[in-house]
Every structure is written in structure tokens, then in C-alpha cells.
Structure 1
Amino acid sequence: MPRPHAAALLEDAYNRRKADVLRSRGWVTRLVPLTGYGSVSQLRVFGRVILTGGRPEDEPDAPTYAARLRAVELETRGWRAFFSTPAVDEPVTVRVNERIITTRTDRGGFIDLTVRGHGLAPGWHHIYIGSPKAETIDVPVLVVGTTVTHGIISDIDDTVLSTSLPRPLIAAWNTFVRSEGARRAVPGMATMYRELLAAHPDAPVIYLSTGAWNTAPWLTRFLRRNGYPPGPMLLTDWGPTNTGWFRSGQEHKTAQLHRLARELPHVKWLLVGDDGQHDPKIYTEFTTRRPDRVRGIAIRELSPGEQVLSHVIPVANDDLLPAPTEDLDVPVVRAPDGYGLARQVRELWQGDIPARTLARRASATVPSWEDPPAYLLPDPDER
């Protein structure tokens, strides 16, 4: 086995030293709830264990998942989320019904555990995660049934949430300074997702992003507060890895797309992203290899100003190095927000429409998001 990268060794040494100091000062461990998913045959369970200065017996009761999520988010919001101390190699117990599985956290304090033969029926469930030095918590998991044929895989940054990533100064300001309430949802996206789920209520929504797991608690609250449907998030662990200083966001997204295709082979996905980064390229490459797993691609077009904030120049990366979306056998639609995308996505969501047919329809009508139809207007609680 190759020796870990020097950056990973330095980070591990720093985390061990910091954890020893904090434990000597009375800090204890806390479990962070993360939503899992799976099929009827296997379940993917996520969680994280961090060190916290508050002792469980001194904290107010948090009987619900939302309350515990809020407690973690308040403790690790903003810049604190990126300086939380992981509990490395901490024993963790996962209980699914009467079955108990034991595992240990990785170098970032995370668990990513596959449980086979879980016995859960399709739908939403709660399982239990515990650790010897932390209070046991229940976390939601979504089991996708074998009869489900529709699903949504959605990017987060600049697709459902305006973040102006990855320009360093803007990203740092949004991440470390601005609060959850100051973030802005992309107009119409939540409404479009709810409309699609109204036609297929069992369709899973998977939020796939290159964002850090550290932000999962406040991201979950943001999605809920702005009317987005619940769903598992597939994020990544920022920082050094065993192979280099930083992990590849594109590789992360590509790997997760192919894993979802293997785990849920009966689902055809609507892939939703934006043209600010590499979503058109990633989705095109995946669709070329797995056309039977893709129902269509929906790309949110950033404005010139958003493109500048995203990567300095006022044009999309897709314009500089175009992904050959016109050669795909699945529909590809584009619009500046959810209202324009919804008009085009509705037909391909309801049935299999030839890509070129839908392309001709889309080119004949320029979507306008200044005057959306009444049934697509946001609900009052989405504003």
C-alpha cells in the first residue's frame, strides 16, 4: 500500500494533537446526523462524530431530528464548521431494526457504511447511530423501491442556491461570514422540483455537490426553509487526501453518479446542474456511458454577472469548451431559472421523448422567467 501523502500526514498529526488537548479540557463527542439512502437490498448510512465543548447532560433536550440538526448547525455554523475537530477512529454502532453493525470513523470523523439485507420497506425510515462517548441519535434514510422509475440528481451551488463559487474571496465570504438566512435560493427551482414530485411522489431527490460535508446541517435547513423536497446529500470532505493536497470535485461527482446507477438500476435520472462550472461536461460524459440511466439533462444558465463571480470571465465554461450535448440521445434543456426549466422538463419527465424532438420545441420558444405561470409561482413559505 502506498504511503499517504505528506499533507494528509500533517493534517492527521494536527487533528490528533488538537483532539488530545480538547479532551483534556473536558470536551466530549457529538454525533452529527446525515441523511442516508438505499435500495431494498442495501442501505448507505452516513454520519460524523466531532468533539464539542458542551456536555450532553448540560444541553437541552433535542427529541427530534430537526432539533438536533439545529443544535449542531448553531454550534458549527459559518467558519466554525471548517474548524470542527473530528473524532478519528471512534467506534460507532448503527442499528437498523434489530440488526446492529459496528464500524469506526475515518480520518475526517465520518462514516460511510453500506448495510445489506436491512429489511426496510420502500419509503422514509429512521435508523439509530450511537457511539460509546456520545448520545445515540436517530437519522432519516430513504429506501427506493424497485418500481420507482423516476429520480432527480441535483447540483447545489448556483443550481438551487446562489453561492458564487468557487471564486475564493466570494466563496470565503459566503461560507465563513454570511448566515444561512442571507443565502438566496435560485428562483423557481424548488417549485419545479415539487411539481415534478407531484407527478411521481416516490421519485428520490439526491443533492450531489462538491461542497464540504461540514456544511450539511445548515444546507439541510436551507433546503427545508426554502421549500425544496427532502433528500440525501452526497458531499465531499475538503482538504488533504492520501493522494494529494486536495480531492477532485469532478471525480467525486462522476464517481457518485456511477454508484447511483449501479445501486438503483431501475431509476432513470433527471440531471440538474448549472453552466457555471463543469456540470454540462460531467453530465454529458456520464450520459454517453450510461444513456439508459438518464431521462434528461436540465442546465441552469447563469447570468454574465454570475459567471464573472463564478470564474472571472462573463461566459460559461461550456461556451469555451463545449460539451457535445447535441450528440446525446437524451433531451438537454437550458433556462436561467426553475420557471424556464419547468416548461421544458415537464414533458420529458412524464414520458420518454426523443431528444431531438424536444430540442426543436425548446428552440422554438425562448423561456421567460419574468412572468411565470400562476401555478409555478412560489408558495408564500418559499420566499
Structure 2
Amino acid sequence: MGLANIARNVEDSINRRGIVKSRRAGWLPRITAYAGYGSTSAVRVLARAIMSDPQAEDKTFTLPFLPSLTHSYAGQRVNEIISFANEKAAEAERGWRQFFTTQVGFLPVTVTIGTRTISARTDRSGYLDIVVENHGLEPGWHEATITPIAGEPIKAPVMIVSPKATLGLVSDIDDTVLVTWLPQAARAAWNSFVKHTNARQAVPGMAEFYQTLLAGSPEAPVFYLSTGAWNTYSTILRFMQLNDLPIGPMLLTDWGPTPTGLFRSGQEHKKTQLRNLLVMFPQIEWILVGDDGQYDPLIYDELAREHPSRVRAIALRELNPVEQVLSHGSPEAFRTDREDSDVERDGVPVIRGKDGYELGVRARRHGFRIF
């Protein structure tokens, strides 16, 4: 038996014991909803089942149902509503509590969205990730109702992208909009487990840069793609609202062992999610935003070479030498200097800057045309 299988078996054993102990204490499965997304023909619903004390106050906050909004970058109403909720919810909450959960694997649930009601189950880690076709929903924000076989139903927000949308934005999170230096263990632990949400440092100018990029495309969807854990979802959502970043679904990952290794591949996660977006929205060209501290330049570069008509532009935040060392152990940035992957020569513009302000200046200086 491989080390990965041993780790999975240990994790499953601990989790089963946790479920039994929780049930004896009167706890029930609770669905944590994440923002889903889709087109007018198919929608992806995302959630997770964990054990929870039904007597405890639920401070988990998800995107509200705002049917009047027709896109993910809709203006101040979203910011005002979520900011108010954030101020009232767990002001001194620390991130480490998010990681100590007991997930409920293979839990039967019923999902109702639009005109469809289907039965499904969570996976072994408690995640629900399903695609519902022919839902009958119009573009805008809607809700799916997820009802577990035991426990209370919950509303999950879903963003239906307009078929008129021809431009979309995909943004990395760590060291692109949020300074975390995530790969460095001590720094990651501090940011993820200890620091308050409002103490996290935002990359200067990124909110303004995104507002500029999206100003001429009111239907443009925004997605946040990261190798961070789903456990940090609510914390990141609060951070985005505190820093006026546009709202959009987050595509995060599970940090548990897999059948092939102790850890999931962050590169493969990003590549898979990007290709899922290409398939779901064949009419959209994407602006890809990341940083040069790890593999974003290579991943975006590869996608642009394979699908040059689907990538409108690439923007990379340049980390300083100290950030580079904290990110991956070397003061040198990840570059795409290979001759066969020079997307700038193949017609996909690339800009680089130390923060959002510099990216905006260089975009205007170099005729960064996206509209």
C-alpha cells in the first residue's frame, strides 16, 4: 500500500470517528454553500457537507440572492450588502478554526435549481460538485436549494453568465490580490490560521485595475482561481469585500491526500479549471491575471499557445526579490522565455507590473486593448 493510500485511510478513519462523536453530541450535517456558476444551458453547483452544532450561531456568510444583478461585477449594491454582513459577523474570527472540521462524505442530498430537481451525493471529502443542465434560468444571480437527507436545507448562490458576454476575467488570489507568500510554511500558517481577515494585506491598486478592465464590459464574469483550500472561502470573500474587489465565484481546491499522492497538484488544478471555463463559455475571451512568483506565467502561457483566440491578454504582477524568495525560495521570477511559448510574439499581449497601479499605467502606455 502506497503512502498516499495510507494517508487517505488514516484521514477517513479519523473523520468517521469524528462523525460518530459529533452525532452523539447532537450535531447534524450542515451544508456550506460556495458560489457556483454556469451558462443559460448548464450550471455548476458547489458546496460541502460538514458536521455542525445546530444550536450554535451560524456565522458562515455566502453571496446573497440579488436577482436584479445581471453580472458578477455589478456595482456597489453587492459591496454594501456583504460589507454590512461582514461587519456583523465574527469580527475577531481567526482563520485556524476553518480547518478543523469533520466532513460528511457520501451524504445524499437533493438539489433544486430553476426547473430541475436532482438527487446527488457528496464525495468522500464531503464536497458537492455537480453540473445541472436545462435549468431554465436567465442570466444573473440565482439560488440553488441544497437539502441533505439529515440537516437543514441551504441556499447556494449561482451566477448565470449572459450569452452576450464576450469578455471574462480570471484572477489568481495569493500574491496577486492578497499578499500571503503562501508556499512558505510559516507565513502560510500565520495568514491562514492566525491573522484576522481585516489584517491581511491587499496588493495595492488591484481593485482599481480590475474596475478599469471591466468598465467597458458590464456582462463580463469574474472568477478567482487559486490553489488555496476551500476552508478559507468565507475568509477570502470577506477580504474581497473589505478591499472592494469585484465579486465572482472562487475555484479553490481540497488539501487532502489523493489516490496518486499526498497532495493535490496546484498546476493541474488551475489547468483543469481554466479548460472548464473554456468549455462552459465558448463565446468568451479571457483576461488572465496572476503573479510571477510561481507557475501562473507558464500556465497562462500554455493556455494562450493552445487557444490563442480565447485569451485576450495576460497581466502578471511582478514580485520583488524578497517576495520571490518567500514564494519559492529563489530571488528569480518564473518567466516564459522559451521560444515556443512566447505568446507576446503570437499576438497575445502580456503586461507586467509590481502592483495594480503599475499594471494599469503599463496597460495604457502599451495600448493594452481589451474592449
Distance 1:212 1:317, change over 3 A: same
Aligned position for 2:361: 343
**Partner residue, 1:138:** 155
Q: Which residue of 1 aligns with 2:40?
A: 40
Q: Of the candidates 198, 201, 221, which is equivalent to residue 204 of structure 1?
A: 221
In 2, the alpha carbon distance for the partners of 1:124 and 1:15 equals 34
Q: What amino acid sits opposite 1:340 in the alignment? A: E
Change in Cα spacing, 1:270 to 1:181, as seen in structure 2 (3 Å) is same
Match of 2:348 in 1: 330
Residues 250-273 of structure 1 show CA distances to partners (whole Å, capped at 9, x for unaligned) of 000001111111110100000000
CA distance in 1 between counterparts of 2:261 and 2:94 reads 27
Which range moves more in the overlay, 151-160 or 96-105?
A: 96-105
Distance 1:32 1:338 in 2: 32
RMSD over aligned CA atoms reads: 2.8
Of 244, 267, 270 in structure 2, the residue corresponding to residue 227 of structure 1 is 244
Which residue of 2 is the match for residue 356 of structure 1? Answer: none
Kindly state the Cα deviation for residue 320 of structure 1 after the two structures are TM-superposed.
9.2
Task: Give, in whole Å, the separation in 1 of the partners of 2:119 and 2:182.
Answer: 37
Match of 1:283 in 2: 300
Query: Secondary structure in 2 aligned to 1:242?
Result: coil
Partner of 1:201, secondary structure, is coil
TM-aligned CA deviation for residue 121 of structure 1: 0.8
1:259 to 276, 285, 288: 276
| In 2: Cα distance, 1:144 partner to 1:188 partner | 26
Amino acid at match of 1:5: N
Q: Any idea what the Cα deviations from partners look like across 1:137-166, whole Å, max 9, x if unmatched?
A: 222211112221110000000000000111
Report the counterpart of residue 22 of structure 2 in structure 1. Answer: 22
Structure 1 residue 327: Cα displacement: 3.8
Report whether the alignment pairs 1:85 with 2:102.
Answer: yes
Q: How far apart in 2 are the matches of 1:201 and 1:190?
A: 16
Residues 1:211 and 1:135: Cα distance change in structure 2 (over 3 Å): same
Q: Is contact 2:103–2:125 with CA below 8 Å preserved after alignment?
A: yes
2: CA distance, partners of 1:215 / 1:127: 22
Superposition TM-score, scaled by structure 2 size: 0.86
Structure 2: runs of 5+ lacking an equivalent: 65-81
The alpha-carbon distance between structure 1 residues 76 and 260, as it changes in their structure 2 partners (threshold 3 A), is: farther
Q: What is the deviation of 1:68? A: 8.7
Which of 111, 114, 117 is equivalent to 2:134? 117
User: Mean Cα displacement is larger for which, 96-105 or 196-205?
Assistant: 96-105
The match for 2:206 is: 189
Q: Match of 2:234?
A: 217
Map of 1:55 onto structure 2: 55
Structure-2 residue corresponding to 1:294: 311
What residue identity is the alignment partner of 2:52?
A: T
Distance of aligned partners of 1:153 and 1:314 in 2 relative to their CA distance in 1, 3 Å threshold: same
Distance 1:242 1:278, change over 3 A: same
Greater helix fraction, Structure 1 or Structure 2 = 1
What is the alpha-carbon distance in structure 1 between the residues aligned to residue 157 and residue 85 of structure 2?
12
CA distance in structure 2 between the aligned counterparts of 1:81 and 1:146, rounded to whole angstroms:
36
- Give aligned-pair identity as a percent: 48
Aligned to 1:126: 143
Pairwise CA distance, 1:92: 1.6
Aligned partner (choices 91, 105, 113) of residue 96 of structure 1: 113
For 2:326, the equivalent position in structure 1 comes to: 309
Q: 1:106 to 1:62 in 2, by over 3 A?
A: closer
Q: Deviations over 1:264-295 (max 9, x none)?
A: 01000000000011100110111111111100
Secondary structure (helix, strand or coil) at the match of 1:134 reads: coil
Counterpart-to-counterpart distance in 1, 2:90 and 2:105: 20
Q: Is 1:78–1:175's contact at 8 Å kept on the other side of the alignment? A: yes
Q: Which amino acid aligns with 1:248?
A: S
Gap regions ≥5 residues in structure 1: 352-383
Partner of 2:10: 10
